[in-house]
Structure 1
Amino acid sequence: MIPVFDGHNDFIQRVVSAGNKGTEVWLKGDGTGHMDLPRVREGGMIGGFFAIWVPSPAGPNDDVAVAIMQNPPFALPLPEEIPHDSALPLAFRQAAALRALERTGTLEVVTSAAQIDSAAQQGRIAAVMHMEGAEAIRDMDALHLWHSAGLRSLGPVWSRPTAYGNGVPFAFPSSPDTGEGLTAAGRDLVRECNELRIMLDLSHLNEAGFNDIASLSDAPLVASHSCAHAICPSARNLTDRQLDQIAESKGLVGLNYASSFLRPDGKRLPLEGFDVMLRHLDHLLEHLGEDGVALGSDFDGALMPADLSDAAALPNLIRAMQDHGYGKDLVSKITSRNWIELLRRTWGA
């Protein structure tokens, strides 16, 4: 089985929501969502980025938003900023839940590429502690504290404003050029992440913020779970200019499986078959090269394609890539090796 290292999932929210049964949700599954240990192993996943994310009161998965997103064009308003004092307890609970999974012996929170390799050899799932939206980080002292707790990947924003910058709205069709760039605090955050070797994630960031990080950061540019704007003109997707800038930095893009970011019509309906996903992969490969393309599922955070309904179905995507003409070496790069090498260069270990 070809191993998969995944660029983004929202599984930890399910663990926290399950309360005292959270660990059981991981070890045995509960019949919901896209991930749990049995399905992760069945699909060949060796690890990935586990997101800490504070939900807005209303978001893209509530009933009203879903109905709107099924009938483009649409432009959902950005949710209001989440205050730090509200975000921090929720973020702490998710970080603690990830560490609780580690104590089962089936998962390891990793801070180096060498640990990813070691965890895979020992049959443990390698988990990168990622934060999607920096509301829980009050200042640079807090960033250092989170780093000590294991944080190694950070997206300054989700699709809402923070003290550091602005996210893109859920809008189709739309350019990602939707607002102002990083704040002064956001610029400080970029510099400090570079010093600490915390990977900066550009997914959800608007174009002005993307440009600011590209001009400030000395690390490879990374979008952990994004698709090609040329195929699906969603505000959440990356333009060819952005892809070329990522390529120039020797960075990487993880393909998002969310149907609404893949479908050329932008509808939030399950994508059928793999042709469209392969078009996105071809386009990413054209701009980023074979070393710059990976996977970023968005499991447990988005509507999945019909034939890629959960982690257990990952072999379906791998077979589709092989049938499309991707050789063994390229498939291996896309499914795991590119992520591991990118983290090795970003983290320095």
Structure 2
Amino acid sequence: NLEAFYNDGLRSIGPVWSRSNAFAHGVPFKFPASPDTGPGLTNDGIELVKACNEMGIAVDLSHINEKGFWDVARVSTKPLIASHSNVHALCPTTRNLTDNQLKAIKDTNGIAGLNFAVAFLRKDGAKNQDVPMSTLVEHVNHMVDIMGIDHVGLGSDYDGAPPPYDLDSTAKLPTLTSALRDAGYDDEALNKICHANWLRVLEETWGE
């Protein structure tokens, strides 16, 4: 069905959500825990990644487990994309990325998008929405330290999880950009984080 979906406009796909299916194994929501929670891509999953590469469909790795991530990294010829994942070293949930995963994203000229979900931001993994902007800045700083400014974006997850109170609406996005500016990110850096990095990666992935 992939060709029909493509013709209908599909340009990005997650092989899994946080459950297993015919293609791969998603990470269950656990804290504290490693994203290394089971086997990697199935044979069908390998063929799916190859087909997406050929057709110009982005493969989103945010819900896949660590072995699946590395299988995609081995098979794919396109930039690695984790659209809404944070830093495992700062919040050790299965849904976040290890430093080695972040390095792999950089090595493929890919991108990781900052997730606003409080359970993936807080050091205690709690769903308490009282989270300061400094916590999000800390995650961005770590991503930039590991990957460089060209590989960090915004991933929000507004439709899936509770964000910090100070960021519970798209109208409040300037609260985050102001915090990043106060942390030393200039206009060029903010443009990259807010849109330019995403545009580069998607253009390279889609080939359009």
**1:200 and 2:59 aligned:** yes
* 1:218 aligned to which of 77, 88, 93: 77
Shift of 1:306: 1.2
| Local SS of the residue matching 2:83 | strand
Does the 8 Å contact 2:27/2:64 carry over to 1?
A: yes
**Corresponding residue for residue 191 of structure 1:** 50
2:99 maps to 1:243: no
Runs of 4+ residues over 6 Å off in structure 1 = none
Question: Does 1:281 find its partner at 2:140?
Answer: yes
Query: Within 5 A, what are the aligned runs for 1:139-158?
Result: 142-158=1-17
Q: More strand by proportion, 1 or 2?
A: 1
Cross-structure match for 1:175: 34
Q: Distance in 1 between matches of 2:12 and 2:107?
A: 21
In structure 1, the residue matched to 2:171 is 312
Aligned 8 A contact 2:122 2:131 in 1: no
Tell me the matched-pair count.
Answer: 208
RMSD of equivalent CA atoms:
0.7
The offset of 1:268, in angstroms, is 1.1
Aligned position for 2:188: 329
Contact 2:13–2:58 (Cα < 8 Å) also in 1 = yes
> After superposition, where does 1:103-122 map in structure 2 within 5 Å?
none
Q: TM-score, normalised by structure 2?
A: 0.99
- TM-score normalized by the length of structure 1: 0.59
Shift of 1:272: 2.3
Task: Give the corresponding residue for 1:270.
Answer: 129
> Unpaired runs of 5+ in structure 1?
1-141
Give yes or no for the alignment of 1:162 onto 2:7: no
SS at match of 2:47: helix
How far the C-alpha of 1:148 sits from its partner, in A, is 0.5
| Contact residue 263 and residue 271 of structure 1 kept, 8 A | no
Preserved CA contact (<8 Å) 1:271 1:304: no
Q: Which amino acid aligns with 1:316?
A: T
Query: Which one-letter code corresponds to 2:193 in the other structure?
Result: I
AA aligned opposite 1:264: K
Q: Report Cα offsets for 1:159-209 as digits up to 9, x if no partner.
A: 001110100010000000001111111011000000001000010100010
SS state at 1:187 partner = helix
| CA distance in 1 between partners of 2:58 and 2:200 (Å) | 13
Residue type matched to 2:56 in 1? R
- In the alignment, the residues of structure 2 paired with residue 334 and residue 244 of structure 1 have an alpha-carbon distance, to the nearest angstrom, of 17
- Deviation string for 1:3-62 (max 9, x for gaps)? xxxxxxxxxxxxxxxxxxxxxxxxxxxxxxxxxxxxxxxxxxxxxxxxxxxxxxxxxxxx
| Unmatched segments (≥5 aa) in structure 2 | none
What displacement does 1:262 show? 0.3
Letter in 2 for 1:341: R
Paired residues of 1:251 and 1:342 also in contact (CA < 8 A): yes
2: CA distance, partners of 1:166 / 1:269: 28
Q: SS in structure 2 opposite 1:344?
A: helix
Could you say what secondary structure the match of 1:339 adopts?
helix
Tell me which amino acid in the other structure corresponds to 1:318.
Answer: T
* Letter in structure 1 aligned against 2:35: P
Following the alignment from structure 1 to structure 2, what is the Cα–Cα distance between the partners of residues 288 and 197? 24
Give, in whole Å, the separation in 2 of the partners of 1:205 and 1:272.
Answer: 26
Shift in Å at residue 307 of structure 1? 0.4
* CA distances 1:87-137 after superposition (whole Å, capped 9, x unpaired): xxxxxxxxxxxxxxxxxxxxxxxxxxxxxxxxxxxxxxxxxxxxxxxxxxx
Does the aligned pair in 2 maintain the 1:225–1:253 contact within 8 Å?
yes
